[in-house]
Amino acid sequence: MTHSLHRRGTAESLSGDYVVLSLPAVGINDDGHDPKLREFLRIALRHNPVNIGQINLGNMYSHTIEEILDAAHGIVHAVFDNPQAVTEVLKELKEANLGQSVVVSGIFEKVDECAEKAGLKHHTANFSLGIWGKTEKLPSNDILEVITMCGHAMVSANLVTTMVDEIKAGRKTPEEAAKVLAPQCACGIFNPTRAAKLLAVMANK
């Protein structure tokens, strides 16, 4: 899925950032797929995701878990901050055999390790080729590391700057600031745990 491909950052930072999503193939296995997506989310929830969401509704920082489960349709997402959780989720999904596509975004080698430990092999691999064009018009790289965690560009660079100022002034902790940013990402692929770490680094500069 292209909206989760363009996350930027160091290998160390991205090692704590994994998006797992599920969706049907339109016209092939989309009949009655909503219960399967709900089961995908229930499986994900057993492994402490840092975010879950449904693309037409929002994420767990703007809606309740029950609302997200009820709205499951089309594409659903779960975000994890460690590879062990991803491995366990993949093991359960393999056992559940829901018949829906599952996509995992993260550092390629680490995602492959998770799949291998779960007894799976990747079917297809997509890579981001970076950003082309007038890159001088982009925000600074540290801000890009935060805002590219929302693949639909709904987290504002200016809001990130404001949150950094709030942290510097002592009005918000990095965790509180990250929770202000998280609801902006409607589909739920924003990682607030990683965002808090990135915001703390920016605030200390």
181-204 pLDDT per residue, tens: 999 998 899 999 999 999 999 999
Question: CB–CB of 77/3 below 8 Å?
Answer: no
Which of 117, 152, 183 corresponds to the end of one domain? Answer: 117
Q: Quote the pLDDT of residue 187.
A: 87
Q: Are residues 25 and 97 in the same domain?
A: yes
Q: Quote the pLDDT of residue 77.
A: 96
Counted domains in the chain: 2
Q: Are residues 44 and 95 in the same domain?
A: yes
Distance CA 166, CA 169 (A): 5
Distance CA 77, CA 79 (A): 7
| Model confidence at 17: pLDDT above 80 | yes
Which of 88, 117, 146 corresponds to the end of one domain? Answer: 117
Whether 101 is covered by a domain: the verdict is: yes
Query: What is the rounded average pLDDT of the residues 65-93?
Result: 96
Q: Are residues 101 and 151 in the same domain?
A: no
Q: Quote the pLDDT of residue 130.
A: 86
Produce one character per residue of 49-61: b if its CB has 16 or more CB atoms within 10 Å, e if not.
Answer: bbbbbbbebbbbb
Whether the predicted model's global pTM rises above the 0.85 cut: yes
Q: Which residue has the higher pLDDT, 126 or 167?
A: 167
Q: Quote the pLDDT of residue 101.
A: 93
Whether 169 is covered by a domain: the verdict is: yes
Tell me the CATH number at 40: 3.30.70
- Encode pLDDT of 30-64 as tens digits: 888 999 999 999 999 999 999 999 988 999 999 99
Question: CB–CB of 191/181 below 8 Å?
Answer: no
User: Could you give the residue ranges of the DSSP H alpha helices within the chain?
Assistant: 11-14, 34-45, 65-70, 83-96, 108-117, 141-147, 157-168, 174-181, 192-203
Q: Are residues 87 and 56 in the same domain?
A: yes
- Encode pLDDT of 115-161 as tens digits: 999 999 989 999 888 889 999 999 999 999 999 999 999 999 999 99
Indicate the angle between helix axes 192-203 and 174-181, nearest 10 degrees.
120
Pairing mode, strands 76-80 and 18-23 = antiparallel
Q: Quote the pLDDT of residue 155.
A: 97
| Model confidence at 2: pLDDT above 80 | no
Range of the domain at 69: 2-117
Q: Quote the pLDDT of residue 129.
A: 87
Q: Quote the pLDDT of residue 136.
A: 94
Q: Quote the pLDDT of residue 1.
A: 53
Whether 109 is covered by a domain: the verdict is: yes
